[in-house]
């Protein structure tokens, strides 16, 4: 009988509870609210904190990530949150309802910070984002990040630049006070969205090799350093097809795919996870923000000689009533013309373009290919020359 140990969320509207009993009927022993103390790979047993030893022949680690805290005084105060698991979201919702919460501070301007600024503003909560850098979303070109900043500001999100969080204190007009290198601000809720790191305690303790990224090393079958132990999802590395390096990009679709590969292999199949190209996206208010492949800095790090170009094109044909501007950046290798990465921001069409370019990266296309791709043109969906063509041909001329 296979075992599943972990915290299975069992409440709130959209979720259909899958109780341990329901699982047991399907032949799976699910143990919720159960902590694993350590794993004994020689004995082939998972040791629970209550002293019980659960034996295994094959083991899958899916320990995920933990949201990082800045490590400042007062960060453990009531009303300071991170957002990683559904349980975190439920706690935040409960806190907002109870107070009620009129004002929120988000520390950090990555995916979670951006998505939560929209969610909080949609609840009518006054929201500030305090960020270490001058612009949000570090991964994107400054010109595209400025479009994200403008979107935040047009929805009355206050953006505080160059702010290093120093302490959380008790507030006067609001519950809490955030002290930063740029001053102080009070709020009823503080969300720490400063990053995440893979949970590798169990893996390390049982002697599994970790990669350069700090996540668990796996091969293309999702096997770890031990033949009988698999690792999947955010705690594990993935092969990046553009850089040729093993990376740790904790995203849900990658976790899903790795889980399927491990499952197929455990079931007697011979599945390989063919890797990733670094595609990612999020929505912030009315803006689509997406990227794939390498940034220029990452490209240099792995030995490419990147050149980039950034254009503002039309998301759909210029003559159409709903047209809006699309910012698209392409990065390619000077020596070979090979596409290395892409970033896009726009009210519509950004994710669609990035997905096409993700397929191009997957195939190892050069700009000569990308500039002539046969896309399904019609005025409601694009111009006859898509921003993809325009950017690729422009960058081709440049290098």
Closest approach, Cβ 213 to a copy of itself, in A, equals 17
Residue 38 backbone phi and psi in degrees, to 5: -160, 175
Residues of this chain that bind a copy of itself (CB under 8 A): 14, 241, 251-257, 273-283, 288, 290-292, 319, 351-352, 354-360, 362-363, 365, 368-369, 372-378, 380-382, 384-385
For the chain, give the number of residues: 399
- Residue 216 or 358 with smaller CB distance to a copy of itself: 358
Minimum CB separation of residue 205 from a copy of itself in Å reads: 30
Residue with smaller CB distance to a copy of itself, 149 or 344 = 344
The number of beta carbons lying within 10 Å of the beta carbon of residue 148 is 23
Identify the H or E element spanning 80: strand 80-81
Closest of 113, 95, 88 to residue 165, by C-alpha:
113
Residue 354 C-beta: closest distance to a copy of itself, Å:
5
For 10, the 3-state DSSP assignment is: coil
DSSP state of 362: H
**At its nearest, how many Å lie between a copy of itself and the CB of residue 353?**
8
Shortest Å, Cβ 363 to a copy of itself = 3
Report d(CA 46, CA 62) in Å as an integer. Answer: 14
Q: How far apart are CA 48 and CA 61, in angstroms?
A: 15
Annotate 52-63 with three-state secondary structure: CEEECCCEEECC
Nearer to a copy of itself, 307 or 357 (CB): 357
Task: Please identify, using beta-carbon distances, which residue of 78 and 319 lies nearer to a copy of itself.
Answer: 319
Of 34 and 382, nearer to a copy of itself (C-beta) is 382
Which tokens hold the place of 390?
Answer: 């325009």
């Amino acid at each position: 009988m296979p075992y599943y140990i972990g915290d299975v969320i069992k409440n709130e509207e959209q979720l259909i509870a899958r109780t341990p009993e329901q699982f047991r009927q399907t032949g799976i022993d699910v143990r919720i609210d159960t902590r694993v103390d350590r794993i004994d790979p020689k004995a082939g047993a998972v040791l629970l904190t209550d002293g019980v030893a659960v034996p295994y022949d094959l083991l899958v680690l899916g320990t995920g990530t933990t949201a990082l805290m800045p490590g400042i005084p007062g960060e453990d105060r009531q009303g300071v949150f991170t957002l990683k698991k559904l349980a975190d979201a439920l706690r935040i919702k409960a806190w907002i309802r109870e107070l009620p919460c009129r004002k929120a501070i988000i520390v950090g301007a990555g995916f979670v910070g951006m998505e939560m600024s929209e969610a909080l503003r949609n609840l009518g909560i006054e929201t500030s984002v305090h960020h270490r850098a001058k612009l949000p979303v570090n991964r994107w070109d400054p010109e595209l990040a400025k479009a994200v900043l403008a979107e935040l500001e047009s929805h009355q999100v206050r953006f505080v630049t160059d702010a290093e969080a120093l302490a959380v204190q008790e507030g006067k007009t609001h519950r809490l006070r955030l002290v930063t290198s740029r001053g102080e601000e009070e709020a009823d809720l503080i969300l720490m969205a400063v990053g995440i790191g893979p949970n590798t305690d169990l893996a390390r303790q049982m002697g599994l090799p970790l990669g350069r990224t700090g996540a668990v090393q796996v091969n293309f079958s999702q096997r770890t350093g031990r033949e009988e132990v698999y690792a999947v999802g955010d705690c594990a590395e993935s092969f990046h097809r553009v850089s040729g390096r093993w990376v740790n990009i904790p995203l849900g679709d990658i976790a899903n795919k790795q889980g399927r590969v491990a499952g197929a292999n455990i079931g007697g199949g011979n599945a390989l996870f063919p890797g990733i190209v670094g595609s990612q996206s999020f929505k912030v208010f009315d803006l689509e923000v997406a990227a794939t492949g390498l940034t220029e800095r990452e490209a240099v790090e792995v030995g490419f000689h990147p050149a980039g170009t950034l254009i503002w094109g039309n998301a759909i044909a210029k003559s159409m009533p709903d047209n809006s501007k699309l910012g698209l950046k392409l990065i390619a290798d000077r020596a070979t013309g090979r596409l290395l990465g892409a970033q896009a921001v726009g009210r519509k069409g950004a994710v669609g373009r990035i997905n096409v370019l993700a397929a191009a990266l997957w195939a190892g296309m050069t700009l000569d290919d990308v500039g002539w791709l046969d896309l399904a043109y019609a005025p409601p969906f694009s111009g006859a020359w898509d921003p993809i063509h325009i950017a690729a041909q422009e960058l081709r001329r440049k290098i």
